[in-house]
Chains A and B, each alone.
Chain A
Amino acid sequence: MTPVLELDNVTKRFGGLRAVKSVSLTMNAGEILFIIGPNGAGKTTVFNLISGFLHPNEGTIRFQGQDISRMSPHRAAQLGIGRTFQIVKPLPSLTVLQNVMLGAFMHTRSPRQAEEASAKILDFLQMVHLSKFLASGLPLAALKRLEIARALATRPKLILLDEVVSGLTTSEALALAALVKRLPEWGVSVVGGVEHVMQVVMKIADRVIVLDYGAKIAEGLPAEVVKKPEVIEAYLGPKFKELTQ
């Protein structure tokens, strides 16, 4: 079976800065992969590269076997790559339901059908009671869910969750994580990005990739990865690496 997503030696430069350095990764259908790394490690850049908001300088990105390295964001979305934004971007003057309908419109012209499809997704994300509220007044935890709902409404094969739990309290984060873990029920694979909420990552990730200064420094099962000296060094500095040895 062709992997859902393949990055082959992908490099992205911003002027003299190499934000992503020859990163390769492969992920299979139904998998939940988390990309973790300290602030500025290049996680968001990787998400922007996969979803077409940026294009790599070197290397190729394949989605279900198809080269999407130079694809525009809306084409990537139409192919089945959904995404959320690190800094939530709700459409403030629309209601929660209308925000989600926007995603559902990818598959129907009829506002009524879009509404029905959206209602199911809002039900899954446990936010039906918020349907009629304007997005602008929602608390952050609900906005994070709204982002996921809108992306899910496009019926993606792959969903990119950039910093899904950042800014949430621990209990909010764990509640959201439980929902993210169920996303494969909708036939999607998940790439999550998280800075340091390891509780969430340990609970739901099938596999973890660690980025530091744009390069992949470790990959593996969550429990293994966090013990690696290079990961500890990236997060805590060289002094702590010595302590582990």
Chain B
Amino acid sequence: MSLLKSWKFWALVAATLVWARMPWFVQNNYQLQVLFRITLFAALGLAWNLVGGYAGQLSLGHVAFFGIGAYGLALFHQIPLPLWLSLILAATVATLVAGLIGLIAFRLRGPYFTLATIAFGEVLRLTAANLDVTGGAIGLTVPSLFHGRTFWRQFYLASVALTVIAFIVNYWVSRSRFGYYLLAIREDEDTASAVGINTARSKLWSLLLSAFLTALAGALYGSAFQFIIPDSALTLEISVQIAIITMLGGAGTLLGPIVGAALLLSAQEVFKNQFRESHLLIYGVLIVVVVLFLPEGVVGGLERLFSRKPRAPGSSKPQPALGGAAQ
């Protein structure tokens, strides 16, 4: 198999192993928690990348699936159902809801689609805040998936596993016909349908895959912190953060979401400790700088720098990001 001969593959395997061993290098649970958040948001970014990166549909409603994952795990477990079954059921429900949202929101294009996704997330937040079964504004206790003294370490390993799964899904998409279809949709929907691509169906599939992974991450998050309220598990901030992480790292690239999560979240932690209240200002400036000077994200920009695709003479327009699928 050619994959086993590729140095990139082995480099990734080595990086994953080092990454998974990180808990043995850190001193306390705070640092482990930061690592957990980074890894979890890398998985979330990779999940979002399918819709927002490859298919180019800027969703700011992914917190809906994230929240359904967390709330679903808590609610199914209350019934009571076994813990791991509850997890799968929660992700399944999120996928079904994604189907419903997709059928409605994908009728809209561009900014209208984005607005619709924000609305769905907000509707869900308000619903959770006002229903008795979800505990209203007081929230719910989420069962912990792991126990014992080393439970943070286990949550961390679970988040690494989820990131690996999300990465494999992204890799498969980037190499397949489905991935090409999504790229075509991102570039021009009319052209895509003129070559026989069922654009509605392809977009929907990308959203379903993305929602399932996002819900698993949401459940993991809720379970790790053991308590969720609408303003923590269903807030627009999470949707925005997932999108920013991916775009900063490079939307439509394989490594972008991981790099984005590592850069943005670690910067956030450092600034928070160093500059207290003014950390948001620095964070904002950082985002503006990246958007101005690296519009394709860190990975997209580096890729272009090192493996330039030739351009026909006489063209001077800057190139948009060339996705991992394009290599």
Contacts and interface: CB of A to CB of B under 8 A. Distances in A.
Whether chains A and B associate is yes
Interface of A: 51, 53, 72-74, 77-78, 82-83, 85, 89-95, 98, 101-103, 105-106, 108-111, 114, 130, 132-134, 136-139, 142, 150-151, 153-154
Contacts of B21: none
B310 A133 contact: yes
Most chain A CB within a 10 A radius of its CB, from B177, B188, B192, B194: B194
A137 B317 contact: yes
B180 interface: yes
Interface stretch (B89-97, B125-133, B319-327): B319-327
Nearest to B175: A111
A137 B314 contact: yes
Nearest to B314: A139
Contacts of B311: 133-134, 136-137
A130 B183 CA distance: 20
A147 B311 CA distance: 18
Given A93-B326, A105-B177, A137-B312, A74 B188 contact: no
Contacts of A74: 192-193, 196-199
Contact of B191 (A91, A93, A132, A133): A91
A95 B311 CA distance: 9
A53 B319 contact: no
Nearest to B308: A134
14 contacts: A53-B193, A83-B194, A89-B191, A91-B187, A91-B188, A92-B320, A93-B326, A103-B195, A111-B175, A130-B312, A134-B309, A134-B310, A139-B314, A150-B195
Chain B, interface residues (CB within 8 Å), range: 20 to 34
Contacts of A109: 176-177
A151 B196 contact: no
Interface of B: 175-177, 180-181, 183-184, 187-188, 190-199, 309-315, 317, 319-323, 326
A153 B180 CA distance: 15
Contact of B180 (A89, A101, A139): A101
A145 B68 CA distance: 49
Contacts of B183: 91, 93-94
Contacts of A134: 309-312, 319, 322
A95 B193 CA distance: 19
B297 to A, nearest CB: 13
A99 B66 CA distance: 35
Given A136-B311, A137-B312, A142-B312, A102 B193 contact: no
Which 10 A-B residue pairings sit nearest by Cβ, starting from the closest?
A137-B315, A77-B196, A91-B187, A137-B311, A73-B193, A137-B312, A74-B193, A78-B196, A89-B191, A106-B196
Given A102-B197, A133-B309, A136-B319, 10 more contacts: A74-B193, A74-B198, A77-B196, A92-B319, A130-B312, A134-B310, A136-B317, A137-B315, A138-B315, A153-B195
B190 A85 contact: yes
A114 B180 CA distance: 11
A93 B195 contact: no
Given A91-B188, A92-B320, A95-B326, A102 B309 contact: no
B198 to A, nearest CB: 5
A85 B309 CA distance: 26
A198 B144 CA distance: 76
Contacts of A72: 193
Contacts of A150: 191, 195
Nearest to B190: A89
A87 B181 CA distance: 21
A92 B187 contact: yes
A110 B311 CA distance: 26
B68 to A, nearest CB: 31
